[in-house]
Every structure is written in C-alpha cells, then in structure tokens.
Structure 1
Amino acid sequence: MTGAREGSRHVGVWIAAAADAVYAFASDQRNLERWAAGLADPALADVDVRFAPVNDFGVLDHVVTMPTGEEVYNPMRVIPAGDERCEVVFTLRRRPEMSDEDFEADARAVRADLETLRGLAEG
C-alpha cells in the first residue's frame, strides 16, 4: 500500500543542443561536479554514483549509494526533440518520511542542477 506522502514529480528543462551531446556530457562522471551540485558537496565525498550502462535511448538513470549504505534510485532521461534540441527529465521520488518542505527543496535543487546542465550544454 502506498503511503500518503509518496509520489513523484518530473522536473525537466529544454536544452538547445543535440541530445547525444547532452547525454555524453551528463553521463560522464567526471562532469558531475560541474552540474550536479548536490553530488559535488564535499560532505557527500563518500557517496557512490552508478549510472545505467551507456545506451542509445538517453537513459541516465543512476543509483546514489549514501555513506550509510542506503541506495537512492534516480530515473533520468535525455529525450531528443530535433537535431539541436532535447529535453532532460529527472523523476524526483518522494520518500514517505519527507516533509512537504523537504520535497520542495529537493525539487528546487534538481531544477537548479538541470538549469546548470543547460547552461553548460548551450554554452
């Protein structure tokens, strides 16, 4: 049975760049600290990020393993929309223990990361 506070929100941005270029940049773990502020936080130095295997479908799903051993699955896609345009969508999952404020803060952080990714990809 689903808890009253569980749910998902799709956070997306449109990027004026080719989907394959955005996918290549975003899937390269060496670039994470440039666009994923939450994962670049020195307090999270002990986290492990594991992306889905390289694929032709723009799937950037990844699992973040926290220092506690907790694994957080994050669905993410780069969706082509023409030669020089794509949409990047991150599905934010709300865990039952999250307050409304925490969920909104997570959504704002994800949007900020995706906006940073857009700036880098379009730059």
Structure 2
Amino acid sequence: MRQSATLSISIPRGAAEVYAFVADGANLPRWAAGLGSGARSVDGGWEVQTEAGTAWLRYAETNAFGVLDHTVRLPDGGEVYVPMRVVADGEGSLVLFTVFREAGMTDEQFAADARAVARDLETLAGLLGRG
C-alpha cells in the first residue's frame, strides 16, 4: 500500500454548487494550478496543458454522492488516480482530496505534491466565497 494524505477544506456553499463547479473541467485552470492550464473538453474528458506537455483528465460519471474521483493521463503516458469528494456539511461543504505517494517519490516530492494540492484547495475555497 502507498502512503497517502487526505487534505480537506470547508467551503460556505452548498455541496451541489461546489460539485458542479469542480465537475466542470473548464474551471480547472481557475483553481487547479498544479494540474495545468487551458482546459478544453475532449472525448468525454478534459485536456490541459502542463509544463511537460498535454495531460488528459476524466472525472467519475456525474453522481448524487459528490464523488469527483478522476484519472489523469500524464504527458508521458502514465496515469494517476485521484480520489476526490464534496461532502455536505450543513449549509456548506467539505472538499476532500487524497494524494498518493507515487513510486519513486522522495519524501520531499510527496510533501511538495501535498502542498500544491493544499494551495489549489485554498484557491478553490477563495473562488467560491471563502476568505
């Protein structure tokens, strides 16, 4: 089993609204700087431009449970599975994002990956009304 870290952030918006915003891949460049830029819809997923080239992302099918798991196909052809959820919390939401330590990652690289996700979640919360 791989080492993992689940990061979370509270957002004072309803879960359906947060889910809809995140599930729309066109919003990726607005909050997920760690992934890339220039998202465009391609073959049921989202193509994004990264420093290493073009990556492709596909979310789980639209669902009523807040599941936003996605697979990212990296420019080198590798794939990364990312569990993500939006959970209702009263009138607000909790966004959960799990980062796995990939094979060959150093402690420093894993920590940097988690910090990048934390920054992205902060940006998401800022866009949706926090702060």
Which is strand-richer, 1 or 2?
A: 2
Matches within 5 A, 1:4-43: 6-41=2-37, 42-43=50-51
Q: CA deviation at 1:45?
A: 4.6
1:75 aligns with 2:83: yes
Structure 1 counterpart of 2:17, which letter? Answer: A
Superposition RMSD on alpha carbons, in Å? 1.3
Q: 1:85 aligns with which of 81, 92, 103?
A: 92
The unaligned stretches of length 5 or more in structure 2 are: 38-49
Paired with 2:128 and 2:92, the residues of 1 have a C-alpha distance of 11
The unaligned stretches of length 5 or more in structure 1 are: none
* Aligned-pair identity (%): 49
Deviates most, 40-49 or 108-117 = 40-49
Deviates most, 107-116 or 93-102 = 93-102
Deviates most, 109-118 or 40-49 = 40-49
Which is helix-richer, 1 or 2?
A: 1
1:111 aligns with 2:118: yes
